[in-house]
Structure 1
Amino acid sequence: MASSVYFSRGNGSVGNGLPSYTSSSAIREKRHRHSHTASWLTPISLPIPGVRTRRLRLMAPNITRLHQSSVTRFGRRRGPFLLCASVLAFFYFIFAVYKRFGMGDNSWPTSLSFPDPSTLVYRREDLQRIWEWEVAAGHYPSARRIPEQVGLSIPPPNPALSPRRSVSLPSRFRGPIATDTVGVGPKRVYLDLHSHPPNVAYPPRPVPGSVADMDVIMDHCDFSTGKYVRDCLEILRLGGGLDMGARVRRGKMDDWKYIYMEENASQNDSDIASFLKPAFGLKTQGDLDPSNDLPKKRGAQWEPHVRLPAPPKYVSYKDSPTVCDEENPRIYHMFWTGPFTDKPYLALLSFLFTQNLGLQFDADRPDPLICRPQFWLWINPGPAAAVPNPSAVRDMFDQLKSNPWASPFLHPRFKDVIQFKMWNTTEQLDGVPELKDEWRALRDSLFNSGGYVEKIPQKAEAEPEETELEQEVEEDEGVAAAAPSPTKATKDDDDKINRVGSKSPSSYDRLSVILSDMARFVLCHRFGGIYLDADTILLRDWEELWGWHGAFAYRWSRLEKYNTAVLRMNKNSALGSFLFRTALKNGLDFHPMSISKYTKDAYLEGLLLRLPDALFDSAWLNTEQYQRDRPPQPYFTEFADFFETPVQSSGSPHALGFDGFFKGAYSYHFHNFWWRPFDPSRDFPDLGPRFIAGERIARASLAEGSTTKLPDPQEETVADDKRDLDWATVIKRTFESYIRGERPNMYGEWLKW
């Protein structure tokens, strides 16, 4: 009998009770081979929970038909690939639509990545208080708008912003949310800085009290808007008067002026009453729903309402009774672990060579009109997780005196501008009011970097030779997860816990790097000032950066993230309180990427300005293969080019010198390379007869570790030197010649001993 007379039933049997094999894989394959009209959809049945006698029938894409069609159209290799790509694109489209409309993000995703969990622990009303406090303190000298998500209803008065020239929009036409601040500060006069004949060999010092307009800098230098580092450096160079009279540009430069002076506040007679009236909420706009809070960190409680002291009164430079502002001290902070090397040595030399320290005057008669910055070098003498001993400060200075790289900066001539300070983690964390009562609960996760915690084993019990007093000292002064003291022998002196400094790429001191991520925020919040990574070289006077009272870091290359290798924060600011409390609720994580997330989730990015990396890290984009069609000078394709200049451009360092090295940038960041000497052929401090004792010690140490005999200092000739000098070597020797008294600094000022 033909098979067509058999009809299947729900129990899988034919009408005569015999089993049916029409659903076997062989039969399905035969039917597939002889079918020419396969459907694009295929039915599938799914069990219905709780209903045993019925199943849910759905239509799903026929993968076999799709595969067959793709192979027929595009071939056996390209077909499956295009099919997979189409499926991924479909799911990405669903995700994009959900993100755009379902999550209220109002933006399409830029990559196939799900949003990170929120880090926010503050309510909207607390974020409003933080914004209002920072603006009132003069920490927002910008005309850029406040994010709508903050939800301010009244534009806050801004004492650091001059009044706008345009007429205010009447309140009845303004929406319920204020995104602008009202300038009530002194008027600005933009400066035309350049050298005047006959003194054109060196650029002029910045005018004391001058301020950099960061809005202008962002307009000309922001990578997000397609601006080139090369063009940014030219504007910084010309607007700052660093071209030394060799100006070849013609025409007005008003748009490139970014440095200004503030007039007396008493000269501001603008009427701001209309700006401060509450906005009239239109029915079409509606009021901001106070219950629609921003997404909170999962598993965390809202922080108690922020309590802030009265903001400090903003005083312009001309209205200040003193040349130095106590609320904004000019302190450069730097953190260093382990023995002093040529890296902090060069950072300190660059400070002496570029900043307005008044070293051209007698030491007992400094210029009273100069606010001299100070350089505080914080030294952690042992491993990052080590317990400091009671004599740590004395031991630190003894080591500095005997170290040829450090001893020159202990000279009395530098005592008012360079200070060495010992870092104590417990003391520093206890000095932060936002942390002191709670940070010990995170002892086990103290070394947290981007959510990855470096575990430090606790000491099981005190060693027999320790007295009770020594144990109390360790408990009182040591960090939570304390490793053995660096003075005691360990099984492995170079493991990650006992490592001091990075001696090679394979022995990277990761714990010290993580500790420095936290240290920079602690130091700036407690003392104010600017933090610099130890692999930073100053290239010009920072006067106008000190005059800008806002907080800033700079951009992480192509990413819209922070790099805190340069960090400016105000002492005891509302922004600092927010960052510490947020970091505390996120595992004390101070990695730059985490800081970027904290400010983004809270819409506070405007209070920690992300400056273009052209100002502090001009080679970074080129090293990541960006903007190589129009690179700046010099052209580095990798950071190692600073230490070993490529042969094709090896004539540039010696020919151009310091003036040809990223002219216009405020600093240069060479990104680690702690193990690479700046001057391999003269790897010692070369500061002349005044510091010859340290040079002899360094030469002797270098000779012990060398397989070739070094030439006698009295018999050295230029023929013994390397033929093509690298950029690092030229920069180091330029700074050293200033200390020796063989040349002036970059502004034509001679060091007076």
Structure 2
Amino acid sequence: MALFFRDHSCSAAVILITLVQIFYIIYSYTFIPPEELSEIKEIRPIRHIALKHRPLDGYVVNLTLINKYCEPELFDTDYFDTYNIQDCLDYLDERESEYLVKNPDSRIKCSPDSVPMLFHVYWRGRINEKIAFMIKSFLYTQPLDCALLNVWLDQNQENDFSQNSYIQPLLKFSPNNFRLRRWNLTEQLNYDPIYEGWEEKINRQIPTVGYSDLVRFVLLYRYGGMYVDADVLFLRDMRPIYHLNQEFAYRWSFWLNYNTAILRLNAKSTTSRAVVESAMEHKMNFHPFQIKYYLVKKRIVVKPDLDKHLYMMPTTLFDPLWLKVDLQLSNQVIKPNINDFYDAYKSSIVDNEFPDEKEATTSMRNKKEFFRGAFTYHWHNQWESSITENSWFGVLQRGYDEFINGQSPNMYNEYINEFHEEIF
């Protein structure tokens, strides 16, 4: 045995503690009234939820290993009857020690003195609950010593953001971890000769979604980093994919098209330049379905050709519910077991949400169990839906707020006062 008692007093103390414990057990069964015992028995045992640990500096994902579980071999609807979404999520959640590998670039460090991971999001109009929700998810998950989110505001007339109740509690994190920046189309496009003649080519009546397709490529061509749509929540530390020596977007559901809701590009890289130049030749059309044709000049495009230019990541890494929704895979049991993007807003329990429970209640929804393993969650434009208190999003919102206010830890068991105290 590794533990030895050095004297009799220590041994006596152990015996005394043991006797006290035995006495308490006897007392509990002898003196506690029956009605109190029945109340104790009715308490539901707390499910064990493993804590996450931040990845070490300089570790990145091995795409070959991840693809074995997360990238279906055949992309047709018949194959997806056997493709298991949860297997991919479980692998991402439980096997980090296997697929996280050391990046050869030893210069990658997370510290206040390092170059931060740079993220961008575009928002049109006044700051509301939804964009604040996205920013909170960033603060809750990312390493605050080396992460910065640029929130690009368009058609926003607010002069004093401290008067906006949604963003005011978050301003203590600005400008260290996020910055509110004004989007100016003229300044951005006049910055580089690559956009010459844009005034005659741009469609000024384009809807917000289409316009943001342009914004993301303009921003990443100039600044580099990662663009994230406003209807995306961060679920875990992004360093293992951000620091890949790889530019990427992810697959559009089961189709061979890019979804640029998550887009990683280096500033003025060969890939970003190729897309911008081709889009300029096509009346500034940056629609995701066009990107593959800008990169591969072939009529028939295959994934290996695309990966050479802009790697197409598996859908489930960033959009874990999409395949189930698109292919109506109601037989697939995932965690949480919801069937539609709107289900995350519902205050009532969804049918079969907790398959192993006879009487499920909303109290069983836990922020630590929301699509564990996935890097982000894309909720696909549910802008008119409200975040209700006991919904999955309500549970996440409460967790974010408690962390930001220093009342509870984040998903990595870190309290806000443990790091980055200068922001206060």
Percent identity among equivalent residues?
Answer: 30
Alignment of 1:279-358 (within 5 A): 316-318=105-107, 330-358=117-145
Q: How many residues align?
A: 350
* One-letter amino acid of the structure 2 residue matched with residue 211 of structure 1: V
CA distance in 2: counterparts of 1:321 and 1:677, whole angstroms: 36
Q: Distance in 1 between matches of 2:372 and 2:280?
A: 40
Instruction: Give the superposition deviation at 1:598.
Output: 2.0
Q: Does 1:416 align with 2:176?
A: yes
Q: What pairs with 1:559-598 in structure 2 (closer than 5 Å)?
A: 559-598=255-294
- CA positional deviation for 1:627: 4.0
Partner of 1:223: 72
1:416 shift after superposition? 0.7
CA distances 1:392-422 after superposition (whole Å, capped 9, x unpaired): xxx5442x222111122222x4431110000
Distance 1:401 1:577, change over 3 A: same
Give the alignment's TM-score, normalised by structure 1.
0.44
Q: Could you tell me whether the CA contact under 8 Å between 2:404 and 2:416 is conserved in 1?
A: yes
- Give the aligned residue type for 1:743: S
Equivalent residue, structure 1, for 2:387 = 678
TM-score (normalizing by structure 2): 0.77
Deviation at 1:523, TM superposition (A): 0.9
Pairwise CA distance, 1:604? 4.2
Cα RMSD after superposing both structures: 2.5
Aligned to 1:662: 371
Aligned counterpart in structure 2 of residue 550 of structure 1, from 221, 246, 249: 246
**Structure with the higher helix share, 1 or 2:** 2
Q: Indicate conservation of the 8 Å contact 1:432/1:522, yes or no.
A: no
Conserved in 2, the CA contact under 8 Å of 1:210 and 1:260?
Answer: yes
Deviation at 1:731, TM superposition (A): 1.1
Matched with 1:202 is 51
- Aligned equivalent of 1:748: 413
Could you say which residue in structure 2 is the equivalent of 1:609? 311
Take 2:180 and 2:91, find their aligned partners in 1: how far apart are those partners? 36
SS at match of 1:749: coil
Q: Which amino acid is 2:100 matched to?
A: I
3-state SS of 2:165 partner = coil
Cα distance in structure 2, aligned partners of 1:322 and 1:751: 16
One-letter code of the match for 1:230? Q
Measure, in 2, the Cα distance between the counterparts of 1:641 and 1:317.
43
For the pair 1:402 / 2:163, whether they are aligned, the reply is yes
CA contact (8 A) 1:373 1:417 kept: yes
| Contact 1:616 1:667 (8 Å CA) reproduced | yes
Deviations along 1:44-70, one digit per CA (max 9) or x if unpaired, are xxxxxxxxxxxxxxxxxxxxxxxxxxx
Q: Deviations over 1:498-519 (max 9, x none)?
A: xxxxxxxxxxxx6221111100
In structure 2, what is the Cα distance between the partners aligned to 1:665 and 1:520?
22
Give unpaired runs (5+ residues) of structure 1. Answer: 1-199, 242-256, 264-315, 359-371, 383-394, 448-480, 482-496, 498-509, 682-724
Q: Tell me which of 148, 166, 169 is aligned to 1:374.
A: 148
Q: Are 1:640 and 2:349 an aligned pair?
A: no
How far off is 1:530 after superposition?
Answer: 0.6
Corresponding residue number in structure 2 for 1:212: 61
Q: 1:258 aligns to what?
A: 99
Per the TM alignment, residue 562 of structure 1 is displaced from its structure 2 partner at its CA by 0.8
| Aligned residues of 2:137 and 2:233 also touching (Cα < 8 A) | yes
Distance 1:321 1:555 in 2: 29
TM superposition shift of 1:354: 0.7
Amino acid aligned to 1:617: D
- 2:90 and 2:373 in contact (8 A); partners too: yes
CA distance in 1, matches of 2:345, 2:378: 12
Instruction: Tell me the distance in 2 between the aligned counterparts of 1:217 and 1:668.
Output: 18
* Partner AA of 1:409 in structure 2: L
How big is the shift at 1:319?
A: 8.3
The question of 1:237 aligning with 2:93 is answered yes
Preserved CA contact (<8 Å) 1:317 1:323: no
Distance 1:606 1:422 in 2: 34
Is the contact made by 1:550 and 1:570 (CA closer than 8 Å) also made in structure 2?
no
Deviations 1:692-747 (A, max 9, x none): xxxxxxxxxxxxxxxxxxxxxxxxxxxxxxxxx21111111111111222211111
**Deviation of 1:652 (Å):** 6.2
Look at both structures and tell me which one has the larger radius of gyration over its CA atoms: 1
Distance 2:361 2:238 in 1: 26
Match of 2:199 among 440, 452, 458: 440
Letter aligned with residue 91 of structure 2: I
| Residues 438 and 634 (structure 1), Cα distance of their counterparts in 2 relative to 1, 3 Å cut | same
Indicate the residue corresponding to 2:332 in structure 1. 630
Task: Give the deviation of 1:632 after TM superposition.
Answer: 1.8
Alignment partners' CA distance in 1, 2:191 and 2:56:
35
Aligned partners of 1:415 and 1:666: how far apart in 2? 24
Contact 1:223–1:558 (CA under 8 A) maintained in structure 2: no
CA change 1:604–1:624 in 2 (3 A) is closer
What corresponds to 2:14 in structure 1?
none
Supply the AA of the counterpart residue of 1:349: K
Amino acid at match of 1:726: S
CA contact (8 A) 1:525 1:576 kept: yes
Whether contact under 8 Å (1:409, 1:418) holds in the other structure is: no
2:9 corresponds to which residue? none
The one-letter amino acid paired with 2:368 is: D
Contact 1:535 1:671 in 2 (8 A): yes
Task: Give the C-alpha shift of residue 581 in structure 1.
Answer: 0.8
Unaligned runs of 5+ in 2: 1-48, 299-304, 355-359, 418-423
Distance 1:741 1:592, change over 3 A: same
Q: Distance in 1 between matches of 2:285 and 2:332?
A: 37
Contact 1:542–1:666 (8 Å) recurs in 2: yes
Q: Contact between 2:221 and 2:268, CA under 8 Å: does it hold in 1?
A: yes
Deviations 1:645-693 (A, max 9, x none): 55433846531411211100001011111121212x6xxxxxxxxxxxx
Alpha-carbon distance in structure 2 between the residues aligned to 1:731 and 1:563: 25
The reply to whether residue 541 of structure 1 matches residue 206 of structure 2 is no
